[in-house]
Amino acid sequence: MLQLLWVLSVVATAPTGTIGAQRTEEAPVMDGSLDDAVWQGCTGETCDLWQFAPDYGSSMSQPTTVKVLYDDTMIYFGFFMQDTLPDRMIDALTPRDNYINGEWIAVLLDTWNDGRSAFSFEVSLANSQMDSRLNEHGGWDYGWDAVWESSTARLSNGWSAELAIPLSCLRFPDRTEQTWSVNFQRILSRTSENGWYMLSASNQMADLDDFASIYGISGIHGSLGLEFRPYAAGRYYDFQTQDEEDGSADVGIDVKMGLTSGITADFTLNPDFGQIEADEAEMNLGHFELFLEERRPFFMERSELFNMPFNMFYSRRIGAVGWNGDLIPILGGAKISGSFSDGFSFGFIDAVTGRVWEDDSTLVEPGANYSIFRGIRQFDGYSYLGLSGVSRDVWAQEGLDSESNRAFALDGAIELPGNHLFSGSAARSWNTGAEDDGAYGFEFAKIRSTLGYWVNGSQVDEGFDVNGTGYTTFTGFRDLGFGASKTYRPESTFSTFSIWGNHNYTAQIEGEVLQNCTHAEVNGSFKNGWNFNISGEHNGDFFDPYEGPEGRFYGSSTSYFVGGGSNPYYPLRFWVGNGGGQFNSGGTFSNFTGSIRYLPVPVFETRVSANWFRTFDTDNYNWEAGAFDTRSTDWRSATLRLAYMFNPDMNLRLFSQYSSFTMDYQATGETAGDEVRSNLLFAWQYLPGSMFYLLGETVFDGDGDGSFSDPDLGVYAKVTWYLPV
């Protein structure tokens, strides 16, 4: 009652742009309400946040109250989100870091106040949590996880939330007086409002340069404590197609140690990277391996520090899959990363992988050591200077000679007047038994604006190869690209309307044109949340050096794509798209894709997606026939995801995918393959930061004619303990 009277007595205004934090000697009771004496005595701010969508620049229809407290170990945020129609508030539950529509409030903290990175803590009305790290380009990395506390309460005139964030999970300068910046985001689902305390003037929802200031924080120190995360895991597989069984048990540990207020060390011994959710099967009609998303926590944390020129570091090279299909084990690893108050940030990873054997006699993959370093000196604005170094070293073993793969790079940027940025990079690789060679690139771009334009170019010499630690595709080329984009936010009809186009030209350093492509695109979102995307592309004549023994010339081609979907804030959401036209290696193609997400009840979520991609009469080399041939392909994929939430800390999730691929050459006939892969995961956070997983997995292999083998079956269990010291 006290809280209700207090809220009603305050008149909402526009955000002031500064938030005061008050020191408290008594921690608030984490029950979701703000009627504690410590909250009642805290001076807060009640304001109408600014809409980023659907009505950019307008005030949100419902006011929000913000309060900030702190002590020697925690910073606390208290929120009251008024809603005059509380019966229509959506409190759907979701697994951690998995956004679904509902009521949300978020805190974004730039503890270095340099506009380079921020921590994000988000909580829903149902007390589901999300956390991430943001970079200056608007990227959200949800691989970062912290252990923090939240609580929410549904009220007769809205809802309230409390967040208690340990200072030990933040990194900040070692100063008596702290200067932080902050932003707050609120999602009001029934009106599709995405509101912000400080509104970004660019296309990025969270532009770190536009954050507000927090004042009043002093006398705090970063934690130098320890966090231990031991685990125990067991797995059992029944390979029915091979009439074999296999089982194993593992123990290991991850350790996190604060070295200074801004630097953290991570160690892992015998890490377990069990397949909690399988990689989706994807179609690949190109010459190069697919680039897979990283899912492993040890590599995902602070991953933004390891972004390097020319893809010098691709973390899935470490602990990859050997040619026989077995996982290459990681025996141990260490990571040190962080920032100093003078603008210098760095990250260092060292990991050792073990050997993989075939039949206990044939060495499939030798043991190796990986060393990765990235250092960045930041200056005013977006200006910086960066140094990168990567190395993969294989020592002499089992009759094999030692070998190494190394590369270094220097890159940087200087911000110019008018929100322009000029950046450049140069790299060189050294590989055993191969030629040393380099790569070079530049870009000039307009940034921090709804109007963007850019020109970029690069040269990658023939012998430049970072596949030992990174991701290299074709080499020996020069390219030049340019483009422009513009985002409009009209007051009627559209929430946003964007147009952009670009042209890329690539040629061999001493040879043929490899790409001559023009792309144009229009996309928009209506006030009611419905959205669309229309694009077209024209490729000029080009030479493909990897098609067949000596390459192949192809003529020009033109293609299109049209897609659209419903309001993403509604319980029922769908998206459909269709593309087609001339395929880049001759012939034609068609592509149909779609997805549906539905929440029939607040604790149950259903997602279905499907893709059908076909090519007709393309001109490709048939290696079986030893000649160029006419080829047609048919790729079909359907994915089902279900999630049932018992409570914010316990859920049951199903992932299932059917995939089918058919390839038909005129000379040698058809080959086909099908697969159905499913896993059912039970996840329980039985204590803060401590998890129990139980996973069941089945794989059915098909022969392409509708028949499937007996399934391979697997069971996996894992328990982790979070032990802060």
Domains belonging to the chain, first-starting first, are 2-215 (2.60.40.1190)
Q: Judge whether residue 98 has pLDDT over 90.
A: no
User: What does the chain come to in residues?
Assistant: 725
Residue 243 CA: distances (Å) to CA of 108, 240, 359, 676: 53, 5, 16, 19
Residue 390 CA: distances (Å) to CA of 135, 344, 409: 22, 19, 9
Cβ atoms 108, 184 nearer than 8 A = yes
% the chain with pLDDT above 70: 94
Q: Judge whether residue 45 has pLDDT over 70.
A: yes
Question: How far is it, in rounded angstroms, from Cα 27 to Cα 163?
Answer: 12
Cβ atoms 374, 391 nearer than 8 A = no
Q: Scanning the structure block, which residue is given the tokens 């001076």? A: 43
Average pLDDT on 336-360 reads 87
Measure the CA angle with vertex 425, ends 424 and 427; round to 5°. Answer: 165
Question: How far is it, in rounded angstroms, from Cα 427 to Cα 459?
Answer: 10
Query: Average pLDDT of the chain?
Result: 89
Cβ atoms 461, 471 nearer than 8 A = no
The helix or strand, by DSSP H or E, that contains position 6, with its residue range, turns out to be helix 2-8
pLDDT at 515: 94
Confidence band of 706 (pLDDT split at 50, 70, 90): low
Average pLDDT on 152-167 reads 95
Q: What are phi and psi of 298, to 5 degrees?
A: -60, -35
Q: Judge whether residue 10 has pLDDT over 70.
A: no
Q: Judge whether residue 282 has pLDDT over 60.
A: no
**Amino acid identity, position 500:** W
What residues pair up with 677 in beta bridges, in sequence order? Answer: 657, 699
What sign for the dihedral angle of Cα 413, 469, 328, 331?
A: negative
Question: How far is it, in rounded angstroms, from Cα 133 to Cα 117?
Answer: 7
Q: Check residues 231 and 142 and name the one with the higher pLDDT.
A: 231
Range of weakest confidence among 141-145, 280-284, 656-660:
280-284
Tokens of 718: 């894992």
**Amino acid identity, position 74:** M
Cβ atoms 415, 421 nearer than 8 A = yes
Report strand pairing: 140-141 vs 45-47: unpaired
Question: How far is it, in rounded angstroms, from Cα 384 to Cα 379?
Answer: 5
Count of beta carbons in the 10 Å neighbourhood of residue 223: 18
Confidence band of 9 (pLDDT split at 50, 70, 90): very low
Tokens of 53: 């969508």
Question: How far is it, in rounded angstroms, from Cα 303 to Cα 6?
Answer: 43
Cβ atoms 318, 353 nearer than 8 A = yes
Residue 171 CA: distances (Å) to CA of 141, 236, 323, 517: 16, 41, 41, 44
pLDDT at 153: 96
CA 496 to chain CA centroid, nearest Å: 24
pTM: 0.85
Bond preceding residue 54 cis, omega within 30 of 0 = yes
**Amino acid identity, position 140:** W
Tokens of 23: 């020191």
The helix or strand, by DSSP H or E, that contains position 51, with its residue range, turns out to be strand 50-53
Short-list 676, 606, 689, CA closest to 644: 606
**Amino acid identity, position 304:** E
Q: Judge whether residue 59 has pLDDT over 90.
A: yes
Confidence band of 460 (pLDDT split at 50, 70, 90): very high
Cβ atoms 165, 121 nearer than 8 A = yes
Strands of 22-116, DSSP E: 22-23, 45-47, 50-53, 64-70, 74-82, 104-110
Percent of the chain that is helix, strand, coil (3-state, to 5) = 5, 55, 40
Q: Judge whether residue 482 has pLDDT over 80.
A: yes
Confidence band of 116 (pLDDT split at 50, 70, 90): confident
Q: Judge whether residue 448 has pLDDT over 70.
A: yes
